[in-house]
Amino acid sequence: MRCTIIVCALMFLAQSSAYRIRVKANPEEGKSVKVSLETHDEQTLITRDQLGTVTKSETRKMTGHEDWVGTTVEGGSGKVTLRRSWSRAEQIVDGRRAALPMEGQTATISVSSKDIGVTLASGRPWSKGARQSVVSMVRGQWRADAENHCVPAMPTAVGATWDVPSEWVGDCFAETAVLAGPAEAQGKLLSVDAGYAILEIKFAMKASAFGAIDLASPAAIDGTMRMRVSLTNPLDWTSTRDLHLVGTVRVPGMAGTTAADLKGTTITKVGG
């Protein structure tokens, strides 16, 4: 079938204005990538008596930084071996700095369809919380890499929107959450400039667990993620995620439950 000059021109313009977007967190076998992670969290806990009167309100501010180099040592369909070396891993709570267990350490991470194993090169033991944090992040990144499911599956024009499937929302935007019920997220391609796509994704879900936070009942989580993604290199991107959780938590050493309002911003930079 032949097309007229005008029809062909319109078809070319339609195709050229749609952009294929790819995002990866793990490089090809034998390659490495530098990653930095910065978090800013504000946690407010409100305790009420049996009459509903506020008896205590406490707000804490926390900042975290992690810098590492990730290498894919061995890749394959059945099992993958990663190596991650941290030059910095710290948490600052109310102005006091504490080094995290992975700072200055190198870990070998084995990823299979059934399990993720983490071993420190030094042989030192890790706390359960530190190990679970790494496992949750790697699991979410690996699933996202496999499906490219945090960004649109098809070439997308500026101003177009897409829906993120419910089963992918947790891995994309709250990798430490255990979802309780349906989740939703919708993205929009805001602009393209100098070879980079600017995306915005709004998400909402309920979680029965969220990292180390002991939730007494499913909590509502919502937020927005903005991404700047290279159109030519899937290992060159930056994301800023603003997340808000409102729920009821159990606090160690305290009877009953406490209302919690948690706000956090996570900035991730890969490659570049």
SS3 content of the chain, % helix, strand, coil (to 5): 15, 55, 30
Report the amino acid identity of residue 124. Answer: R
- Report DSSP state, residue 95: T
Q: Is 106 exposed, middle or buried (0-12, 13-18, 19+ CB in 10 A)?
A: middle
Residues 15 and 154: their CA atoms lie apart, in Å, by 12
Residue 49 is predicted with a pLDDT of 65
Closest CA to 65 of 28, 122, 103: 103
Q: Token pair 């929009």 is at which residue?
A: 188
Cα separation, 41 vs 264, in Å, equals 4
Nearest to residue 37, comparing CAs of 9, 74, 79, 68? 68
Span 102-161, pLDDT tens digits: 899 999 988 887 788 888 888 777 777 777 778 877 877 766 665 666 889 899 999 999
What's the pTM? 0.82
Please, what's the b/e burial string for 37-59 (b: 16 or more CB within 10 A of its CB; e: otherwise)?
bebebebebebeeeeeeeeeeee
Q: What is the largest CA-CA distance in the chain?
A: 78
DSSP state of 165: P
- pLDDT at 86 (0 to 100): 94
Distant-in-sequence, close-in-space partners of 169: CB < 8 Å, separation ≥ 6: 179, 183, 184, 185, 203, 205
Task: Report pLDDT for 97.
Answer: 95
The H or E element containing residue 128 is helix 128-147
Q: Residue 272: what pLDDT?
A: 66
SS3 category, 191: strand
CATH of domain 22-270: 2.30.230
**Residue-range domain boundaries for the chain:** 22-270
Cα separation, 262 vs 210, whole angstroms: 11
Q: What is the CA radius of gyration of the chain?
A: 21
Residues of the chain with confidence (pLDDT) below 70: 1-16, 49-52, 76-77, 142-149, 253-256, 272
Q: Compute the distance between CA of residue 39 and CA of residue 265 in angstroms, rounded to an integer.
A: 6
Tokens 């829906």 — which residue?
163
pLDDT at residue 77, rounded to an integer:
66
